[in-house]
Chains A and B, each alone.
Chain A
């Protein structure tokens, strides 16, 4: 429903901050259609070319189109990042909320474990994990999830413990609400509101971590185009053909900084409350419909 209100709400959205992120997501989703060449097809008759009408950004040492590789690299990064982020959120929110809700010794044990993981740099945790289960795409995702969930667990626990002692939780308890009801209806929304905002800033760091692991040869394996992978490939030609390194690096920098900007914006609450307002309006409309239906029923009866 595009009415005047929603349009004016849209106008207040921080488009300057959102656009780069949305652009990245769009490129990743439509990578298959917008990349001019297959990113893994090698063409030995066109190796290390400069930019031309055929190859806008040139080709690499195997004659693969650089633009296609960067575009598909966006997709690889986004997919890996989304999987890690969602898995880390689910694990982190579950463990953290459980610790906060149950309290006592269980909380102490869980929170100590979380603190131990948090005390180590996340990349070190990921590297250690890969060292145990061996390199590869899925082990990279598992390792990054292991390294990332603790942050969300700690945040969830903090929110749960602060909300748990609010009088309205006690009110729900007096009403006879079960623990599940209290958690799902009252506590989880608060947890998600904070954690998702934090995750939006974390997305950039994750893209960087994925590139780092691939750069080290521990993540995405060739020939899958991945920005970290492309940096390694280009290293040998850095002096003659710097664009082989600069362009994927630039893509990486842009994505990371645009996610950071978005996260900062969210953290400073510069995003308007348009969504909740709209939610309320929809609720109101639904109630009006319901009311009309009931009065109709009563009239006929």
Chain B
């Protein structure tokens, strides 16, 4: 896509031991994509398609079974030998902020912790940085002395984001940062992400299943299904002309605020649940639920190949 990718995922596979020894759970089964600097990249898909595992693998919380992740050309396995260096460059925002913040630490202590771990500055300098971070994410100063349990959901997520930004990382990986929040708060946090990305020039990879959010803030999208990439494109192209039947089905589920479009929206309802990642279907993984599946879909797995005018797709029909 671009000449200087910051994150390169190369044929990544992450398998978990399943109930049977020879039948591992294939959470991620051969995923490759690139994120270039300054991108706001979204990874979308149903629950259980391996999005979260992918995010965890990028920050090194999960070991890859095979394949590699390069961050600025350096392999994650070599980067993980020095976690502190990695931590200054890549940070992670968790799905549930209440769980991701220590329930015994005040907001101030939580925000100071990364600075403390990296021995950044004196106590006074750390203090100033914490106040700066609070301002950056729009957290009132009187919240600094509270414990996470006495904050609102939106404030908690702001604290978690501020903490992730404490070390001035250039890459932020967010694992469904909105799903634990109320809808009205989601909008604020989305706006916050968009602002932070512009102000700080961050590269953000956001795992989400909320397509309206993707459309609003993200610059490129990867659509995953059962541990594989179905389609990848820039946001505009993907929403205008979804090529993959799965993407089409996903997009048809997004209501439009425009009543004229909404009245003509045709909902494509997929039947059944996604198959088990322990025993994925032969050929194209989506063929069991695809409305347009042909004979070939059952037999051969389509490769991810470039499509016109931009992007990548894995489908026999295109």
| Residues in A whose Cβ lies below 8 Å from that of B113 | 172, 175, 177, 185
Q: Is the CB of A176 within 8 A of B84?
A: yes
The dominant DSSP class at the A interface is helix
Q: Which of A167, A176, A178, A186 contacts B100 (CB 8 A)?
A: A167
Q: Is the CB of A181 within 8 A of B117?
A: yes
Q: Is the CB of B145 within 8 A of A168?
A: no
With both beta carbons as reference points, the residue of chain A lying nearest to B148 in the complex is identified as A168
The answer, yes or no, to whether A287 is at the interface (CB within 8 Å) is: yes
Of B101, B123, B128, B145, chain A has the most CB atoms within 10 Å of the CB of: B145
Q: Which of B88, B104, B145 contacts A283 (CB 8 A)?
A: B145
The answer, yes or no, to whether B83 is at the interface (CB within 8 Å) is: yes
Q: Is the CB of A174 within 8 A of B61?
A: yes
Cα distance, A168 to B124, chains bound together (Å): 26
Q: Which of B91, B95, B102, B118 contacts A168 (CB 8 A)?
A: B102
Q: Is the CB of B86 within 8 A of A176?
A: yes
Cα distance, A27 to B316, chains bound together (Å): 87
- B91-125 interface (Cβ within 8 A of A): 91-92, 94-96, 99-104, 106, 108, 113-114, 117-118, 123-124
Question: What 0/1 readout, one digit per residue, does chain A (284-301) give for beta carbons within 8 Å of chain B?
Answer: 100100110110010000
- B142-176 interface (Cβ within 8 A of A): 144-145, 147, 160, 163, 167
CB-based A-B contact count at 8 angstroms: 75
Q: Is the CB of B94 within 8 A of A171?
A: yes
Q: Which of A174, A178, A294 contacts B91 (CB 8 A)?
A: A174
Q: Is the CB of B104 within 8 A of A176?
A: no
Cα distance, A176 to B102, chains bound together (Å): 16
Question: What 0/1 readout, one digit per residue, does chain B (78-91) give for beta carbons within 8 Å of chain A?
Answer: 00000111111001
| Residues in B whose Cβ lies below 8 Å from that of A186 | 102, 104
| Residues in B whose Cβ lies below 8 Å from that of A170 | 61, 94, 100
The answer, yes or no, to whether A50 is at the interface (CB within 8 Å) is: no
| Residues in A whose Cβ lies below 8 Å from that of B145 | 280, 283-284, 287
Cα distance, A280 to B88, chains bound together (Å): 30
- B6-63 interface (Cβ within 8 A of A): 59-61
Q: How far is the CB of A294 from chain B (nearest CB, A)?
A: 6
Q: Is the CB of A283 within 8 A of B106?
A: yes
Q: Is the CB of A174 within 8 A of B87?
A: yes
The answer, yes or no, to whether B127 is at the interface (CB within 8 Å) is: yes
Known contacts A173-B83, A176-B117; A189/B124 CB under 8 A:
no
The answer, yes or no, to whether A3 is at the interface (CB within 8 Å) is: no
| Residues in A whose Cβ lies below 8 Å from that of B124 | 290, 293-294, 297
| Residues in A whose Cβ lies below 8 Å from that of B160 | 171
With both beta carbons as reference points, the residue of chain B lying nearest to A166 in the complex is identified as B99
Cα distance, A173 to B86, chains bound together (Å): 11
With both beta carbons as reference points, the residue of chain B lying nearest to A177 in the complex is identified as B117
Q: Is the CB of A167 within 8 A of B96?
A: yes
| Residues in A whose Cβ lies below 8 Å from that of B117 | 172, 175-178, 181
Of B83, B88, B147, chain A has the most CB atoms within 10 Å of the CB of: B83
Q: How far is the CB of B183 from chain A (nearest CB, A)?
A: 23
Of A177, A290, A293, chain B has the most CB atoms within 10 Å of the CB of: A177
Q: Is the CB of A173 within 8 A of B127?
A: no
With both beta carbons as reference points, the residue of chain B lying nearest to A170 in the complex is identified as B61
| Residues in A whose Cβ lies below 8 Å from that of B88 | 176
Cα distance, A290 to B144, chains bound together (Å): 14
- B188-219 interface (Cβ within 8 A of A): none
Q: How far is the CB of B114 from chain A (nearest CB, A)?
A: 4
Q: Is the CB of B86 within 8 A of A290?
A: no
| Residues in A whose Cβ lies below 8 Å from that of B91 | 174-175
- A100-133 interface (Cβ within 8 A of B): none
- A122-146 interface (Cβ within 8 A of B): none
| Residues in B whose Cβ lies below 8 Å from that of A178 | 117
| Residues in A whose Cβ lies below 8 Å from that of B59 | 174
- 9 A–B contact pairs at CB < 8 A? A167-B94, A167-B99, A170-B100, A171-B94, A175-B167, A176-B85, A176-B117, A177-B113, A290-B123
Query: Known contacts A171-B101, A176-B86; can you find 13 more A-B pairs with CB under 8 A?
Result: A167-B94, A167-B100, A170-B94, A171-B163, A175-B163, A175-B167, A176-B88, A176-B117, A185-B113, A190-B104, A280-B106, A280-B147, A284-B145
- 7 nearest A-B pairs in the assembled complex, by CB-CB distance: A176-B87, A176-B84, A167-B99, A175-B114, A284-B145, A174-B92, A167-B100
